[in-house]
Amino acid sequence: MRAWADLDEFQEFLDDGGMVEADDDMPEEYRHEVFRFIEFHANSELMGGLTERDWIPHSPGLRLKQIFLAKTQDEIGHAHLLYMVAADMGIKTRDEMMSDLLAGKTRFHNVFHYRAETWADQIAIAFLVDAAAFASQRAVFAKCTYGPYKRILRRIVGEEGFHMRHGEEMLLKMASGSQVQRDLFQAALERWWWPAVQLFGPDSPPDDPLLNWYIKSERNEALRHAYVQKYVPLLQGYGFTVPDDGLRQDPDTGEWMMSEIDWAPLKATFSNAGPDSARRLANAVRNHAESAWFRESIGVSA
Amino acid sequence: MVPRINRCIGVTTARTAVTPEMVRSALKSVVDPEYGTLSIVDLGIVDDVAVNDDRVSVTLLPTMAGCPAREVIESDVCTALQTQGLSDVEVLWRLDGSWVPSMLSPLAVDQLGREFSIAIRRDGVLPACPVCEQPSLREVSPVGPTRCRAVAWCDACRNVVEVVG
């Protein structure tokens, strides 16, 4: 067990590339910030997994069904690993995290507050949203000073990278399909573009502790900007229209600049007041109740 | 057992006689789609390589029959061999569940432990923790993010690891 005299000494340790381990006597501020971050990640994996699961019976074809089954298992499994690491930090038990999530007291990613209306929405999620989540997780993994979190992120990032290949494959099918398929994807793109871009969050505050403590390695706006540079030309290359009237390319640098982002929809999801938040949470509550018999049978509570 | 067959045929450009060794060496560049630093050769999933004139037949063993990565690995094998000028390639999967963790190469075992915190169980005994090397692992659930690995907790270093086998 290591201990630090004060936050300055701890900061120096982190600045020198130090990694914090579970039994270290870490500053309480750090413990709380890291815990909140992992809890949010765990909640998002769980809510994301439940969404994927809803689409298993609707997947058009056996192979896609297999993919959605495997993705569901991945996401729920990731939540399982993350809740274990979070619970070990001694702030909330797994039961408490679960009941806070189901009571709407804690947050999960904005993208899981919207409804996937058609199969094309699932493809937009796999292609756009998974890619945004992957970029943001990869940036956390890049430094991540909390050892137990970094170790599971190594596996999570690998698995999410694999999901993206499925997303690309499914998009390719839609893009090279009939006009009906292309129109379906265009409509889905219009629903999911802005939530995907907003997943990175508003610009990082100037003195963000998550950046100072190297939980995040990049500012939110830098990740968002890099994402837009990659996905605008990709989507346009497939012949789709990015739903942003103000989108323009800087003639000198070639960079894509978006219109100003309306952050109100993101803020609504923070208080679980997004377009589909209530239904999603109600589903999660029902799912938790319906699976109680199973948890009891194997002797666990949450 | 009926093997699955995927065949990719293109224009033959190979000019030298193809040997199974050449094919195996080319297959080292094909990596697991989730663990991009591990080749399928080190994972022990290449069961057999046969060459008949310019036709190459690669038989793979999935770590489990329902492995969702099969199609992607298949297409990566075709691409890797085509890059080497081997254009008539057939990929077969043995689906009799014969892959066992002892087929992992020492390099793969080492890399899975060090880079991914994944331990290998032998003879039904939980191995030492891949993070702290203490014999302190406790199985928490028989499956986790994937059906081919259990989840374990290390009481010594308090890390979550996964266990193959």
Nearest by CB to A155, which of B33, B131, B162? Answer: B162
B162: which chain A residues are within 8 Å (Cβ-Cβ)?
A: 155
**Whether pLDDT at A223 is above 80:** yes
Residue B15 has a pLDDT of 57
Question: Mean pLDDT score of chain B, rounded to an integer?
Answer: 88
Q: What is the mean pLDDT of the segment spanning A16-27?
A: 97
How far, in Å, are A10, A103, A221, A244 from residue A228 at the CA level? Answer: 36, 34, 10, 12
Nearest chain A residue to B131 by CA distance is A151
Place B7 in a pLDDT band, splitting at 50, 70 and 90.
low
Whole-number Å distance between alpha carbons of B82 and A266: 47
Q: What is the mean pLDDT of the segment spanning A90-114?
A: 96
Whole-number Å distance between alpha carbons of B70 and B79: 14
Whole-number Å distance between alpha carbons of A187 and A116: 12
Residue B37 has a pLDDT of 87
Q: Is A165–B72 a contact, with Cβ atoms under 8 angstroms apart?
A: yes
Whole-number Å distance between alpha carbons of A242 and A168: 17
pLDDT higher for A90 or A63? A90
**Whether pLDDT at B1 is above 50:** no
Tell me the shortest Cα–Cα distance from A124 to chain B, in angstroms: 20
Q: Is B160–A67 a contact, with Cβ atoms under 8 angstroms apart?
A: no
Place A298 in a pLDDT band, splitting at 50, 70 and 90.
confident
Residue B152 burial (10 A CB sphere; 0-12, 13-18, 19+): buried
B160 touches A: beta carbon within 8 Å: yes
Nearest by CB to A159, which of B34, B71, B160? Answer: B34
Nearest by CB to A67, which of B68, B144, B145? Answer: B68
Which CATH number does the domain A7-297 belong to among 1.20.1260.10, 3.40.50.11810, 3.30.300.30, 3.30.750.24?
1.20.1260.10
What residue has token string 């319906």? A290
B53-94 residue pLDDT tens: 878 999 999 988 878 888 889 999 999 998 888 888 999 999
Packing angle of the helix pair A130-143, A28-54 (nearest 10 deg): 150
Residues 27-46 of chain B whose Cβ lies under 8 A from any Cβ of chain A = 33-36
- List, in sequence order, every residue forming a beta bridge with B160; answer none if it has no partner: B153
Amino acid residing at B49:
V
A151: which chain B residues are within 8 Å (Cβ-Cβ)?
A: 117, 131, 159-161
A145-181 residue pLDDT tens: 999 999 999 999 988 888 888 899 899 999 999 999 9
Q: Phi and psi at residue B6, in whole multiples of 5°?
A: -125, 130
Whole-number Å distance between alpha carbons of A55 and A119: 8
- List, in sequence order, every residue forming a beta bridge with B122; answer none if it has no partner: B125
Q: A211: which residues sit within 8 A by CB, 6+ positions away?
A: A204, A217, A219
Q: Is B117–A152 a contact, with Cβ atoms under 8 angstroms apart?
A: yes
A158 touches B: beta carbon within 8 Å: yes
Nearest chain A residue to B156 by CA distance is A23
Cβ-based contacts under 8 A for chains A and B = 79
Q: Which among B106, B69, B159 has a CA at the least distance from the CA of A73?
A: B69
Whole-number Å distance between alpha carbons of A42 and A87: 11
Q: Are strands A248-249 and A256-257 parallel, antiparallel or unpaired?
A: antiparallel
Residue B93 has a pLDDT of 93
Contact B156, B136 (CB under 8 A): yes
Q: Is A69–B68 a contact, with Cβ atoms under 8 angstroms apart?
A: yes
Q: Is B117–A77 a contact, with Cβ atoms under 8 angstroms apart?
A: no
A63: which chain B residues are within 8 Å (Cβ-Cβ)?
A: 71
Q: Is A67–B34 a contact, with Cβ atoms under 8 angstroms apart?
A: no
Q: Is A154–B115 a contact, with Cβ atoms under 8 angstroms apart?
A: yes
Q: Is A162–B33 a contact, with Cβ atoms under 8 angstroms apart?
A: yes
The overall longest dimension of chain B from CA atoms, in Å, is: 58
Tell me the shortest Cα–Cα distance from B161 to chain A, in angstroms: 8
Tell me the shortest Cα–Cα distance from B37 to chain A, in angstroms: 10
Segments making up each domain of chain A, as ranges:
7-297
**Whether pLDDT at B12 is above 70:** no
The radius of gyration computed from the CA coordinates of chain A, to the nearest angstrom, equals 20
Residue B49 has a pLDDT of 95
Residue A140: CB atoms within 10 Å: 23
Q: Which of A123-137, A238-252, B9-23 has the lowest mean pLDDT?
A: B9-23
Tell me the shortest Cα–Cα distance from A271 to chain B, in angstroms: 29
**Whether pLDDT at B6 is above 70:** no
Tell me the shortest Cα–Cα distance from A213 to chain B, in angstroms: 20
Global ipTM? 0.90
B148 touches A: beta carbon within 8 Å: no
Nearest chain B residue to A148 by CA distance is B159
Q: B129: which residues sit within 8 A by CB, 6+ positions away?
A: B119, B135, B136, B137, B154, B156, B157, B159, B161
A147 touches B: beta carbon within 8 Å: yes
A25 touches B: beta carbon within 8 Å: no
Contact B37, B111 (CB under 8 A): yes
